[in-house]
Amino acid sequence: MTRMLDTAVLENIGLTRTEALLYLALCELGSASATQLIQKTGRHRAVVYDLLERLIEKGLASFVIQGKKKFFEAANPQRLMEMEKQKEVKLQRVVEQLQEFSKFTSKLEVKIYKGKEGLKTVFEGLLAVRPKEWLVLGSSGMTVQALPYYLEHFQKRRAKVGVKTKALMINNPAGRQRGKELQKLPLTEIRYLPKDITTPTVIQIYSDTTVLHSNKSDPPFVIVIENKDISASFREYFGTLWKISKKITQ
């Protein structure tokens, strides 16, 4: 039987004991249905579903639908480091132990995150990959309203590690204002979509990953697709729009 960690450290960074136990169970199982988690934890079905919802909102879990069934997966334990920087020494010990027995070798192709913490998890995933290029389509500056301090810090870190960005902004006052702010950053190129093209969903493409997220939903809803063919298709679509978009608007 897999050695289970003490939940005290996880509780110290903001998780309840039951949340910590379920997160550890997710790490051990790798990818699991709610039924498997109920059997693993011995908790009531309603309790497990409530805990899963809370972990998803904190960016510590995601799910994918296969057929008619939901399968849940823990976020990479490195996510815990962002939740409590002051307790880095104790938390690093937990992360290292989690990575020893977590089954992250067979990744799910589609992951879904909810809430602001879920958005942070997705952005941190991009920095972990450090792609040569990050393409953003349909931004109007709404994401920075949801994560004002975090996103500004993220953009500086992104430029510092050498990730080049090309962004196609929505051609409205908010989009143009955000575009002017981003243009000041290094490794950043901004263009504005034709005024008749709008999208409620922001699309990000990097490496073999495509990210779709809606800023209009509350809490924010993010879909991460890891598939080479899909990312290539969206990259081609981005390139077509890039050619007909302007660098400067009047």
With a cut of 70, list the residues of the chain below it in pLDDT: 1-6, 84-108, 215, 248-250
Residue from 79, 176, 187 nearest 135 by CA = 187
Please give the helix or strand (H or E) that residue 123 lies within, else none.
helix 115-129
**What pLDDT is stored for residue 189 in this prediction?**
95
The answer to whether the beta carbons of residues 191 and 238 sit under 8 Å apart is: no
* Residue 8 buriedness (CB in 10 A; 0-12 / 13-18 / 19+): exposed
Q: What are phi and psi of 93, to 5 degrees?
A: -60, -40
Nearest to 64 by CA among 102, 112, 13: 112
Tens digit of pLDDT for each residue in 8-31?
A: 778 877 788 899 999 999 988 888
> What are the pLDDT digits (tens) for 203-250?
999 999 999 988 677 777 899 999 888 898 999 999 999 999 988 644
Coil, helix or strand at residue 27: helix
Separation of alpha carbons 148 and 203, rounded Å? 19
Give me the domains of the chain, ranges plus CATH numbers.
Answer: 8-106 (1.10.10.10), 111-244 (3.30.870.10)
